[in-house]
Structure formats: structure tokens, C-alpha cells
């Protein structure tokens, strides 16, 4: 399927994630997942183009609607079980997302609420635009695999920064951070968690330039319980930044943390 330049540029300029800017809890990951096939990328950007060019460009995306229109392209034993990403994550036989379950646990730990059935919560409530509890945001917009960059082959002269991942990030970083921090100021979420961030000092500097006078405090990790993170307060918003992922790295149990306990500890700290 052809990836159109106008639709791709619209996605890059306007896609920030899923849910609602009015959500209480924002979880900001480095990139949108996936991107392994051009068909998946085209499905996502074409949906976004069709829905968001005629409406509010700054609105976050409805993850369930987008996933219904994104083909399931994974090969292997699961290839014939699902027709689209909605079936994979939200339908009756949905598979639990490794990061989402930790995010759900964090939110409930922070609120001192018992954990729900994590898979049922994922299917029925997680990141609903109308629920306004979790917003799932991205610092960088393009669907991309952790260890590969599939956009360098695109012959798009107006988007020459896509020739490398490093150039792409450098080109977009300042405008994306400014937009996110502007929305933090406007919507004042209760908690912002930036996770899996590699350039923490750079991000902290951007936050301090936008919110003069604020300081960060580094909180040390508790092994297998709470990750190391950097903490600050922006008015009524608590922001934390961590290199850790809400889940296991390479499915190794020793790399994981208890995100329910993480949420509880943050609430006590506040």
C-alpha cells in the first residue's frame, strides 16, 4: 500500500497519541510502536488523515477506532487469529499488552485502589477518549521498531529528515516538546510519566526552560520494585521521567518493576 506524503506529513505534524488531553494521567513513551510493514503505517496514517483533517487537528486519537482500521500483520502462530489490531488488543480474545498492564497498575496504585482484572480493563476502559483517565502519548510520532528504521527508503524530498532516525529526532524534538509542555500548562494533568527516555538531561533542560525556576530531584531505585526516576512539580502537575519501560526488557524478569507500588510511592511522596 502506498504511503502518501501528505498523509504522512499530517501524521508527523499532528499525531501525539491516544485518549484525551483532559486525562488525569499522561504516559509519554518515546515512539509509537509497530511500523514493521508499510501496510501498517499506511493504514494508520490514512485513518488519521481521513478523520483528523476535517476536525480538530490537535485532538488525540481514538485508539480503538484506529486499531479497527489497522491490519494485523504479525506472522507466526497468531497470524490467523486476528484480522486487525483491535481484535488483537480489545476484542473477546485480546492479548494483554506488556506495557499497558503496568500503566494500569500504576494508575490504580497511585489512587490506592485495588487492581482490576487487567485484561478486562484494557479491553473496556484503557485510554478511552471519553474516560479521561489515561492518555497514551508519544514524544516522536512515527510507528517505529526499537532496533530498525524503515523510513529511509521513502523518496520524499519534502521529508528529507526521515533519512535517518537520528536526523528525524533532532528535527522534531524541540517542536514536539514545546507542544507537549504547552498542553501540560493548558490542561494541567495530575501526573505526567515520561518513560523509556534516553536523553533525560536534555528533557529536563527543556522542562526547566519552559517552566523557569523548577528543579528536579532524582529518586533512587528499589531493586525489582521502583525504578530510578527524576521528579518535579509543575503547578498542580507532578512530572516524573525515567529510563525504565513499564514492562520487561527482552522479557527478562530481572528488568521489571512493580508499577503498582511505583504509583503508590509517588502518591505518598506528594
Report how far residue 190's alpha carbon sits from residue 26's, in angstroms, rounded to the nearest whole number: 8
Q: Over 90: is that where the pLDDT of 23 sits?
A: yes
DSSP-derived letter for residue 96 is P
For the chain, give the mean pLDDT.
91
Sorted by where each begins, the domain ranges of the chain are: 5-269
Note the pTM of the prediction, 2 decimals. 0.94
Q: Give residue 80's pLDDT band: very low, low, confident or very high (50, 70, 90).
A: confident
Question: Residues of the chain with pLDDT > 90: what percent?
Answer: 76
Q: Please tell me the predicted confidence (pLDDT) of residue 247.
A: 80
Mean pLDDT, residues 71-83: 81
Q: Cell 499532528 identifies what position?
A: 14
Q: From the CB of residue 171, how many other CB atoms can be counted at a distance below 10 Å?
A: 15
Report how far residue 261's alpha carbon sits from residue 84's, in angstroms, rounded to the nearest whole number: 34
Burial letters for 106-140: b for 16+ Cβ neighbours within 10 Å, e otherwise?
Answer: bbbbbeeeeeeebbebbbeebbbbeeebbbbbbbb
pLDDT digits (tens, 9 = 90+) for 162-196: 999 999 999 999 999 999 999 999 999 999 999 99
Amino acid at each position: 500500500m502506498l504511503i502518501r506524503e501528505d498523509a504522512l506529513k499530517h501524521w508527523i505534524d499532528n499525531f501525539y497519541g491516544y485518549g484525551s488531553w483532559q486525562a488525569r494521567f499522561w504516559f509519554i513513551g518515546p515512539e509509537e510502536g509497530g511500523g514493521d510493514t508499510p501496510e501498517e503505517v499506511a493504514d494508520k496514517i490514512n485513518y488519521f488523515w481521513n478523520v483528523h483533517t476535517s476536525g480538530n487537528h490537535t485532538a488525540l486519537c481514538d485508539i480503538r477506532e484506529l486499531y479497527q482500521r489497522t491490519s494485523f500483520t504479525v506472522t507466526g502462530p497468531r497470524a490467523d487469529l486476528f484480522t486487525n489490531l483491535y481484535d488483537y488488543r480489545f476484542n473477546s480474545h485480546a492479548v494483554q499488552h506488556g506495557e499497558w498492564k503496568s500503566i494500569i497498575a500504576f494508575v490504580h496504585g497511585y489512587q490506592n485502589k485495588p487492581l482490576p482484572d487487567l485484561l478486562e480493563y484494557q479491553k473496556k476502559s484503557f485510554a478511552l477518549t471519553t474516560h479521561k483517565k489515561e492518555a497514551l502519548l508519544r514524544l516522536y510520532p512515527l510507528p517505529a521498531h526499537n532496533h530498525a528504521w524503515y523510513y529511509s527508503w521513502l523518496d520524499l524530498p519534502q521529508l528529507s529528515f526521515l533519512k535517518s532516525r537520528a536526523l528525524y529526532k533532532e528535527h522534531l524534538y524541540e517542536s514536539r516538546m514545546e507542544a507537549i509542555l504547552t498542553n501540560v500548562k493548558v490542561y494541567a494533568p495530575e501526573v505526567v510519566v515520561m518513560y523509556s527516555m534516553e536523553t533525560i538531561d536534555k528533557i529536563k533542560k527543556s522542562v526547566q526552560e519552559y517552566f523557569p525556576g523548577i528543579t528536579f530531584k532524582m529518586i533512587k531505585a528499589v531493586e525489582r520494585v521502583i525504578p530510578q526516576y527524576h521528579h518535579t512539580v509543575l503547578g498542580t502537575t507532578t512530572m516524573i521521567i525515567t529510563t525504565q519501560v513499564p514492562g520487561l526488557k527482552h522479557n527478562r524478569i530481572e528488568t521489571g518493576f512493580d508499577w503498582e507500588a511505583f504509583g503508590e510511592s509517588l502518591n505518598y511522596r506528594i
